[in-house]
A and B are shown apart, each in its own frame.
Chain A
Amino acid sequence: MSGGLRSTGVVAHAPSRLVRGLILGVVGLVFVVPVLAMVEFTLRRGLVGGYDLHRWTELFQGGLTGEYKPVLVALGNSVGLALGTVAIMLLLLVPTMLLVHIRFPRLRRTLEIICILPISIPAIVLVVGLAPVFSVVARLVGSGVWTLALAYGITVLPFAYRAIQANLDGVDVRTLSEAARTLGAGWGSVLLRVLVPNLRRGILAGAFIAVAVVLGEFTIASLLNRVNLQTALVVVSKDDPYTAVILSLIALLVAFALLMAIGRLGAPRRTRTRRAVTASSPQTATPNPTGDRP
């Protein structure tokens, strides 16, 4: 990752404008068709033929308060779960990553393997084992929908880890924390006032991806019989496919806007970080290989 950052620039043997346009045009067209088909589907006037906006206007004119209220409740659940998942990420993952980075560089590989592991364990397999675990959880703290966040924290682990680690590689955390300690800061203020602001971009990117993953999650919620946005969409689609598709389009748009926002928040900072990396690379070069390569 850090290698990729350093070597970005003008790339030799890039395709010509024509070739680029051709590839992106064809692939883009194929990818746009299903989305267009969804839009077309929601505008159909039924048996009469022709198109209008009535389904969209109905939905927005208080449609969500009546028969579609379950979707709103489900959306609330999903947003709550997303916040819970981000909280797990901030309270458990970030401090652990920093602790390992600063105090236990030998454990970095182990932590990385653990964090990447959920990619290789399909959610459907995890559910098989989670069901008994959750029946115990339900007995201890109740079966509220929020408990699902405990499972989602695991599924977003690889994505959150990658985002934060990429940022962590570019910041000289060790020197920063030692400098702050020398100047008399306690570990609490080192963490909150020095490290977290420097890792803002990575943490933010991790949080946004976590939100996107949780909003799109279906497998675990569906098989543990909990209601979230996706399971509710399936229920709605059974008696009103049009509304389900409209809601999907909106969700898709919101998620896209969310991820574009990461790019925006990251972009101006990225240039500054890169300059900092190049300036401090002589120092960072020494601790990195020892921690990185056992």
Chain B
Amino acid sequence: MSSRFRVPAAAFGLLPFAVYVLLFLGLPTLIAVGTGFVGNDGAFTLDTVAALTDPVVLAAFGSSIGLSALTAVIGAIVGALVCYALLGAPPEGPLRSTIDSLSSVLAQFGGVMLAFAFIATIGIQGMVTVLLRDTFGVDIYADGVWLYELPGLVLPYVYFQVPLMVITFMPALVSLKTTWAEANATLGGSSRSYWLRIALPVLAPSFLGSLLLLFANAFSSYATAAALTSQGSQIVPLQIRSALTSETMLGRENLAGALALGMILVMTVVMAGYSLLQSRAARWQR
């Protein structure tokens, strides 16, 4: 308690950061959520929020959640496999450091360039498309071009989900204590029983936590979809874009606010689950 009384003088040092965060994180978030409750006349209304139940909007939320869940599961499984494969590699060796750096680049540098990469790969004249068509006689676009629609987002999303999984899950895997494996061996356990009875239960919260983070990552991703699809807005971030940039319908900014509110609600649930799982996982990482 005595430290409470020494606070004031040094506390001024916390002010600049506090003001900055309030102005550029707190205030924008409040405005974003707030505009969802304001009508065209500037008065409080629930009409815009009611727009969230519009079938088009609901469909967008459905696609967003479906796309995020699918790519999160694929990303989490593939990423966990990569982490497992890296277990034996020395942490400061060239293999680990190369994959660490690659993962950071690919997880954060995606967006626009990812869209280019996949147009070059599975676009109409893409390398893989042409190869499959000319060499194997398989036309991936026999039923129409799906790259610029919702299914086309799956592969690019997986491309940034896997590296993110490697980054977030690797610390959990590395923190498995050698002593646990030794204890298991001393008691006559096999490698199988070690993974099944010790490692997997200990890793489960971390794995699920990373899975949720991947979901959040895909759910909030905008750049890839924006660069890949120029028409239509199948997912929520693209609907926010069209609400923000639409000049034909006045008052659509408020719909952007309502959509933002919806996104924040989904993210709140996901991140609450994430922090719950994180604290469970932390028990074993001491």
Interface set, chain B 58-116, CB cutoff 8 A to A: 78, 81-82, 84-89, 91-92, 97-102, 104-106, 108-114, 116
Whole-angstrom CA separation of A127 from B30 in the bound complex = 12
Contact A9 B14 (CB under 8 A): no
Contact B32 A126 (CB under 8 A): yes
B128 at the interface (CB under 8 A from A): yes
Stretch at the interface among B117-125, B137-145, B146-154: B117-125
Interface set, chain B 1-57, CB cutoff 8 A to A: 3, 6-7, 10-11, 13-14, 16-17, 20-21, 23-25, 27-33, 35
Contact B105 A123 (CB under 8 A): no
Contact B112 A13 (CB under 8 A): no
B208 at the interface (CB under 8 A from A): no
* Known contacts A216-B108, A270-B92; A125/B117 CB under 8 A: no
Contact B216 A212 (CB under 8 A): no
Contact B126 A37 (CB under 8 A): yes
Q: Which of the residues B25, B104, B245 comes within 8 Å of A118, measured between beta carbons?
A: B25
Please name all residues of chain B whose beta carbon is closer than 8 Å to the beta carbon of A13 when the two chains form the complex: 87, 181, 191, 194-195, 199
Q: How far is the CB of A249 from chain B (nearest CB, A)?
A: 8
Q: Which of the residues A8, A117, A218, A262 comes within 8 Å of B226, measured between beta carbons?
A: A218
B175 at the interface (CB under 8 A from A): yes
Main SS of chain B's interface residues? helix
B162 at the interface (CB under 8 A from A): yes
A209 at the interface (CB under 8 A from B): yes
Q: Which of the residues A117, A128, A132, A215 comes within 8 Å of B109, measured between beta carbons?
A: A215
* Known contacts A33-B128, A36-B127; A124/B241 CB under 8 A: yes
B246 at the interface (CB under 8 A from A): no
Contact A95 B13 (CB under 8 A): yes
Contact B84 A15 (CB under 8 A): yes
Binary contact track A134-166/B, C-beta < 8 Å → 1, others 0? 000000000000000011011001010000000
Whole-angstrom CA separation of A8 from B23 in the bound complex = 41
Contact A33 B121 (CB under 8 A): yes
A103 at the interface (CB under 8 A from B): yes
Whole-angstrom CA separation of A131 from B222 in the bound complex = 17
Interface set, chain B 222-280, CB cutoff 8 A to A: 222-223, 226-227, 237, 240-241, 244-245, 253, 256-257, 260, 263-264, 267-268, 270-271
Residues of A within 8 A of B (CB): 1, 3-4, 7-15, 17, 19-20, 23-24, 27, 31, 33-38, 40-41, 88, 92-93, 95-96, 99-100, 103-104, 106-107, 114, 117-133, 150-151, 153-154, 157, 159, 209, 212-213, 215-219, 222-223, 230, 233-234, 237, 241, 244-245, 248, 251-252, 255-256, 259-260, 262-263, 267, 270-271
User: Nearest 3 CB-CB pairs, A to B?
Assistant: A129-B28, A122-B220, A12-B181
Residues of B within 8 A of A (CB): 3, 6-7, 10-11, 13-14, 16-17, 20-21, 23-25, 27-33, 35, 78, 81-82, 84-89, 91-92, 97-102, 104-106, 108-114, 116-121, 126-128, 159, 162, 171, 174-178, 181-182, 185, 191, 194-195, 199, 213, 216, 219-220, 222-223, 226-227, 237, 240-241, 244-245, 253, 256-257, 260, 263-264, 267-268, 270-271, 285-286
